[in-house]
Amino acid sequence: MLTEAVREYLQANRRRHLQELFELLRFASISSQDEHEADCLACAKWVAERLRRMGFSAELRPWRKHPVVLAHHRQAGPAARTVLLYGHYDVQPPDPLEQWHSPPFEPVVRDGAIYARGASDDKGQFFAHIKALEALLETEGQLPLNVVFLLEGEEEVGSPELEQFLRANTEDLKADFSIISDSDFFAPGLPTITYALRGVVHVELTVHGPRVDLHSGVYGGAVVNPLNALAKMIAAMHDELGKVALPGFYDDVRPISEAERRAWAQLPFDEERYARNLGTEPLGGERCYTVLERLWARPTLDCHGIVGGYQGPGSKTVIPAAATAKISMRLVPDMRPERVVEAFERFVAEHTPAGLTAQVEVKAKAAPVLVRPDSPAIAAAKAALAEAFSAPVALARNGASVPITELIQRVLDIEPIMMGFGLPDDHLHSPNERFRLEQFYGAIVASAAVLKNLAGL
């Protein structure tokens, strides 16, 4: 339980905390775009400086493209518990820009929510942990446990090589528990512990045809058009029932247990409302599963963009020399990224038409995650959520991928606690991303509470 002093401190500092979050949200820390490398670095420096002011030893560790912020607060002493807090300071590209109602990197509060790219994914969430630590330090003069902060800058490009980082820093990252706040409530008013995540394999499939782009009148009918052919290959990746058609793709998929089916069927899921929010019926994926089953426990394959030919305004009737599809597959327990890549490459090799060559480049991969939902740490987190939001707590899976989670589990051998504070309609990765004010302030309270609870385990 939190002291009254902590609660009062948080209440009294709401406005300042929001202003500070706005500072953090103004960094256009888009990790996938080279031109934003400086923004990523500036954002990492800003966060490290905040932590330093609170008594953390915080450093920027250069890594791949964007540095990892690694910070420690060890004044609780060797006998105390240690918690590893994770967050990512990088964000998705904001486009299509014209669909934003306010600029993505100029945060505003509108109708009780903070609008900005990264508000919910993930700056608002990890910043809540920082403010919780600040509140404990300011009111109690110390932290109840030792804290390691790990903030990466490449989550939105799939955390490539983060595994190597963890392996190279196992001593620095040693902890008893790990909290990852990069997910959401199942529904408004229903705090949620996530006990499973999908993994992901992101690839680029390129098909090469003629040496140069060709006039479609002069050559149309003589050459295999890489765009036509790529469309055919993508089309063949699903069967008529919405199943992924890569041979072997489902081999390792863990079936959904009857207990889970029953539990999920009892969650407050309103398909009509869900469709209204989407602007379309939820008719994707495998017909024979419910929406939640498809989102949480069934793998998918999606195309995210096709590059090749002419994409500007108006027309240019070329047969392109090459065409590339950006494709990701979401994996569920117990699928392994390596086996999925193999299945994909085999499929491509078998479906490349004569007259073309194809190549597959793996851009990112992360294994799926499944944790025990009944550990003492999870109980501590549930109690903290219940205390902060005055509501019972749900257990849910999540269809998204947070690559660090599986690495914390497998490489560092720490059980991850996934307590996230977003809401399902926060528009992650979309225009008008937002984080509700009540979720931000509640997250700070819950974060302070879970640290206290874990310290006592």
Applying the rule CB under 8 A, the residues between 236 and 265 that interact with a copy of itself are: 236-238
Of 41, 128, 166, 356, which lies in the binding site for a copy of itself, with binding defined by CB under 8 A? 356
> Both tokens of residue 380?
């501590």
- Which of residues 15 and 101 has its CB atom nearest to a copy of itself in the complex? 101
Count of residues that bind a copy of itself according to CB under 8 A: 99
Q: Which two tokens stand for residue 390?
A: 């005055």
Cα–Cα dist 210/75, whole Å: 65
Q: φ, ψ for residue 62 (rounded to 5)?
A: -55, 135
Contacts of 106 (CB under 8 A, 6+ apart): 26, 116
Tell me how crowded residue 442 is: count the other CB atoms within 10 A of its CB: 20
Query: Which among 436, 437, 21, 388 has a CA at the least distance from the CA of 192?
Result: 388
Q: Which of residues 159-198 bind a copy of itself (CB under 8 A)?
A: 198
Give least dist CB 22 to a copy of itself, A: 23
Binding to a copy of itself, residues 254-313 (CB under 8 A)? 274, 277-286, 291, 294-295, 298, 300-313
Region 371-400 residues binding a copy of itself, contact defined as CB under 8 A: 398-400
Q: C-beta of 103: minimal distance to a copy of itself in Å?
A: 17
- Selected from 104, 124, 209, 337, the binder of a copy of itself by CB under 8 A is 209
Q: How far is the CB of 357 from a copy of itself (least distance, A)?
A: 9
Q: Pick out residues in 105-134 that bind a copy of itself (CB under 8 A).
A: none
Of 134, 155, 213, 387, the one binding a copy of itself (CB under 8 A) is 213
Cα 200 from Cα 300, distance rounded (Å): 9
Closest CB 404 distance from a copy of itself, rounded Å: 14
Q: Counting contacts by CB under 8 A, is residue 355 touching a copy of itself?
A: yes
How many CB atoms sit inside 10 A of residue 168's CB? 12
Indicate the DSSP class of residue 291: H
Give CA separation, 191 vs 84, 115, 270, in Å.
21, 21, 17
Element (H, E) at 227: helix 226-235
Q: Using the 8-state DSSP alphabet, how is residue 267 labeled?
A: S
154: DSSP letter: -
Phi/psi at 111 (5° precision): 50, 45
| The binder of a copy of itself chosen from 76, 80, 231, 267 (CB under 8 A) | 231
Q: Based on the shown chain and the rule CB under 8 A, indicate whether residue 431 belongs to the binding site for a copy of itself.
A: yes
Sketch the per residue contact string, 20 through 49, with a copy of itself: x for CB under 8 A, - otherwise.
------------xxx---------------
Place of tokens 């499944």: 370
Choose which of 38, 218, 288, 349 interacts with a copy of itself (CB under 8 A).
Answer: 218
353 part of the interface to a copy of itself, by CB under 8 A? yes
Per DSSP bridges, beta strands 177-180 and 82-88 are parallel
**Residues from 73 through 92 that contact a copy of itself (CB under 8 A):** 92
In the complex, what is the shortest distance from the CB of residue 292 to a copy of itself, in angstroms, rounded to a whole number?
9
Closer to a copy of itself by CB, 120 or 447: give it.
120
For residues 193 and 378, the answer to whether their CB atoms sit within 8 Å is yes
Q: Are 193 and 381 spatial neighbours (Cβ–Cβ below 8 Å)?
A: yes
| 38 versus 457: smaller Cβ distance to a copy of itself | 38
